[in-house]
Amino acid sequence: MINKHTPFIWYGGDYNPDQWDEKTIEEDMKLFKKAGINMVTLPVFSWAKLEPEEGVYNFEWLDKILDTLQKNEIRVCMATPTTAQPAWLSKKYPEVLPVDIAGRKRTHGMRVYFCVNSEKYRERAAAIAKQMAKRYKDYPGLAAWHVANEYGTYCYCENCQKKFRLWLKKRYGTLENLNEKWNTAFWGRIVYDFDEIMLPTELNDDYRFNPAIQLDYMRFMTDSTKECYENEAQVLRKYTPDIPVFSNISGFIKKLDQFTLTENMDCAGWDNYPTPGAPESIPALKHDIMRALKDGKPYIITEQSPNQQNWQPYNKLKRPGEVRTLAYQGIARGADACMFFQMRQSIAGQEKFHGAVISHAGTENTRVFKEISRLGAELKKLGDVCLDGRTNAQVGMLFDWNNWWALELTSGPTQDMDYFYQVHKYYKAFYEKNIQVDILKMTSDFDRYKIIVAPLLYMVKDGVAEKLTAFVEKGGILVATYMTGLTDENDRCIFGAYPGKLRKVLGLWVEETDALFPEERNSIIISKESGRLKGEYSCNFLCDLLHLETAETIGEYGKDFYEGRPCVTKNDFGKGFAYYLGTEPEERFLRDFVDELCEKADIHPVFESVGKVEICVRENAKGKVIFLINQSEESAMVELGEETYEELLTGQERKGTIHLNSRDVVILKKR
């Protein structure tokens, strides 16, 4: 449980009462009650109001609001307001303002607009965190500390430059080592002093900045942000050792290595803003990544929009019922909290048209408010039934930020390299069959799984190849793809042929990789029918030219100068086997392929279904809770079989076939 004193699903969201008068706040309380709100996050953006001048604090207004919330039995996810430093701070100490990659000093006015390495910023942030911790440590409604908001600003100021050099000294020890690891002899980039090392820049370079430096910069920024978080977290922990501390992650998760960033957090929390029209499997994958951050522990959906947003290119209204299906998608995948941005729509400012529980109309008689209230009542009914529930997936998928960065920083073989897109493609093939997937870190326990998929494992960190080899040896099924095993963790290529240390377990080596034009296709011709894969499939993106050692050919290329050469292979190894996909197959291939894999591994969806229905299971000490979610516009059917279940939202008994209309949700527990 996120906090053992809150044995319910957190329901509420970002609340900004400092924008409102007392009468409005009173009205809010009435409406919150109606909507079943039990938690609010505040005061995320109130630093300027809480500290009008350096060291002078004004907490009385917040005390009053906290009293009101307490009276209304609404708990608080207490934010330190450090995402938006006051103007006086930026003015008095310009060092807190960030410098962008082009070397431009940014002006005050944005939020998350500070240098995470600024000592002044850290000093003032820790100071206000301390004030808050001292003042509210005994506040009965305190459920968690939410530090700052959506970290993720890169800074290229002189101070960051200095700290980067120190960070490199620590990582590489000596200049000789750094020069070797970065291979600075190439293009004459040798450095004789740490002070000669420059931060990456997009200017002054005719081609690309050294990817090794860029990669280390991103690692450095992650570490710096982690320190910046820790700077406040340690203060909070000191005063309230039993209260969980975390920070919310932006849905655009690329910039910071979230595995590293969340290491010292008590739980993960993230902001889910799916792009209208994007497939549901994308938020599903992101939820699964969030669940992975703390190795399967429940996480918080800190934000989602109750309706349309304002910052998407086209801000579609959430369709009737959509907010509910999206919310349940998260809960079904491991979230114990369902929070929104924002509780009341602001009257002006950047996000005045962003959806809110209470809109400018200010009434409960809106479609959105009614939908939020319905969901609130349902979550209340669910109580703690799925809290702390885990997902016992049998398929694992490797995911790694360093790999992501290095792969995309690399020049060649194609400009269309998009790691997240690629991972999603493989993920989706399982998602559509309702086979649950756990996202795995390189350090995760692999042996719990029957199948491990490692899409584009370009960077093989120390020990990972050995772990994957042992996994297969013991009977696991491994799926590897093009762009695997090319570099080590310093982005240095492997000598002795790709995929380096994975060569034996895959039973092949890769001599060359051809990049296809976007519209260009080749084909995979199945040469050895082995179950589900039959006939011909199209492929594109990249085509590896392989040499098989112990692997056997499953499919071969249909054309080009490498026509007839293997592109899909299988290698029996120990008690298991490993597949290699040397090219990006069309989705139809992946559907057949996943069928074949699951058949071999004896993995089945919980229920058979017809139509687009998402089926997820969470299991806690009290048993399994099964979620059936139809996010589509069409109806769907699920076959429960002979067992009898209780439908938790209605109390009805269910067995046999269940029909789900568009946007229906059914939550079941075995009787």
Cite the active site residues.
Answer: 150, 303
Could you tell me the CA-to-CA distances from 216 to 96, 152, 163, 177, 486 in Å, in that order?
A: 23, 16, 12, 14, 18
Consult the annotation and say whether 157 binds a ligand: yes
CB of 150 or CB of 223, closer to ligand GLA: 150
Residue 613: contacted member of Zn ion, ligand GLA, none (CB under 5 to 8 Å, by partner type): none
**Site membership for ligand GLA, residue 273 (CB under 6 A):** yes
> Which of 217, 231, 215 is closest to 164 using CA atoms?
217
CB 267 within 8 A of CB 169: no
- Choose, by CB under 6 A, the member of 341, 420, 431, 458 that binds ligand GLA: 341
**Site membership for Zn ion, residue 96 (CB under 5 A):** no
462 CB-contact burial (10 Å; exposed 0-12 / middle 13-18 / buried 19+): exposed
Mode of pairing for the β-strands spanning 477-481 and 451-454: parallel
- Choose, by CB under 6 A, the member of 117, 149, 224, 609 that binds ligand GLA: 149
**Site membership for Zn ion, residue 452 (CB under 5 A):** no
CA pair distance 12, 39, nearest whole angstrom: 5
Task: Give me 468's structure tokens.
Answer: 């994957």
Question: Shortest approach of Zn ion to residue 220 CB, angstroms?
Answer: 11
**Site membership for Zn ion, residue 115 (CB under 5 A):** yes
CB 485 within 8 A of CB 502: yes
DSSP state of 363: S
CB 345 within 8 A of CB 356: yes
**Residues in contact with Zn ion, total (CB under 5 A)?**
5
Consult the annotation and say whether 386 binds a ligand: no
Consult the annotation and say whether 567 binds a ligand: no
CB of 271 or CB of 400, closer to ligand GLA: 271
> Which of 551, 586, 589 is closest to 570 using CA atoms?
551
Task: Give me 633's structure tokens.
Answer: 């516009």
**Residues in contact with ligand GLA, total (CB under 6 A)?**
10
**Site membership for ligand GLA, residue 304 (CB under 6 A):** no
Structure-derived torsion over alpha carbons of residues 577, 583, 584, 586, reported in degrees to the nearest 10: -90
Question: Shortest approach of ligand GLA to residue 193 CB, angstroms?
Answer: 41
Backbone angles phi, psi at 153, to 5 degrees: -90, 125
**Site membership for Zn ion, residue 293 (CB under 5 A):** no
**Site membership for ligand GLA, residue 344 (CB under 6 A):** no
CB of 152 or CB of 499, closer to ligand GLA: 152
**Site membership for ligand GLA, residue 258 (CB under 6 A):** no
182 CB-contact burial (10 Å; exposed 0-12 / middle 13-18 / buried 19+): buried
Question: Shortest approach of ligand GLA to residue 351 CB, angstroms?
Answer: 6
- Choose, by CB under 6 A, the member of 266, 271, 371, 592 that binds ligand GLA: 271
Binning the chain into helix, strand and coil, the percentages to the nearest 5 are: 35, 25, 45
- Choose, by CB under 6 A, the member of 351, 418, 560, 596 that binds ligand GLA: 351
**Site membership for ligand GLA, residue 240 (CB under 6 A):** no
Stretch binding Zn ion (CB under 5 A), from 150-158, 169-177, 207-215, 355-363 = 150-158
Tell how far CA 627 is from the center of its chain. 21
- Choose, by CB under 5 A, the member of 155, 235, 261, 472 that binds Zn ion: 155
Return binding residues for Zn(2+).
115, 155, 157, 160
Which residues of this protein are in contact with ligand GLA, per CB under 6 A? 149-150, 271, 273, 303, 305, 309, 341, 351, 354
Return binding residues for substrate.
111, 149, 311
Return binding residues.
111, 115, 149, 155, 157, 160, 311
